[in-house]
Homo-oligomer: A and B are copies of this chain.
């Protein structure tokens, strides 16, 4: 389809995505790489993230607080999303691909990916809450 040439920036973006577990957004990656590549452009980050997803080197965790979050870990696992601070954590989950067949039968289509996520309040936000004690 599209020939893909090597690019130092692309390699760095993918490496940055792989070496973190915070499921960064495009801006988070941009901020992290800006010091190493002062001339990096946000558009380049977006363009490369799209390539990673097209190539199966990354997936989207979904939109959290208006920003799309990415994950280089493409093995089946679920996520915990803190509605308070926007943090995204990995949590283990049973393999869902076993349900594909049933879903496909139900909708008459084909399933290519699944996503399981839990939303709530993370440990940090819970402890900060106790200080604000305005309950009741």
**A interface list, Cβ under 8 A from B:** 62-63, 68, 78, 80, 82-83, 89, 91-93, 96, 99-100, 103-104, 106-123, 125-126
Contact with A126, one of B92, B100, B110 (Cβ below 8 angstroms): B110
Contact check, B113 vs A120: say whether CB atoms are below 8 A apart.
yes
Closest Cβ of chain B to A91, distance in Å, is 5
How many copies, total?
Answer: 2
A contact patch SS:
strand
Contact with A122, one of B99, B108, B121 (Cβ below 8 angstroms): B108
Q: Tell me the bound Cα distance from A122 to B111 in angstroms.
A: 8
Contact check, A118 vs B123: say whether CB atoms are below 8 A apart.
no
Contact with A99, one of B62, B68, B93, B125 (Cβ below 8 angstroms): B93
Closest Cβ of chain B to A39, distance in Å, is 29
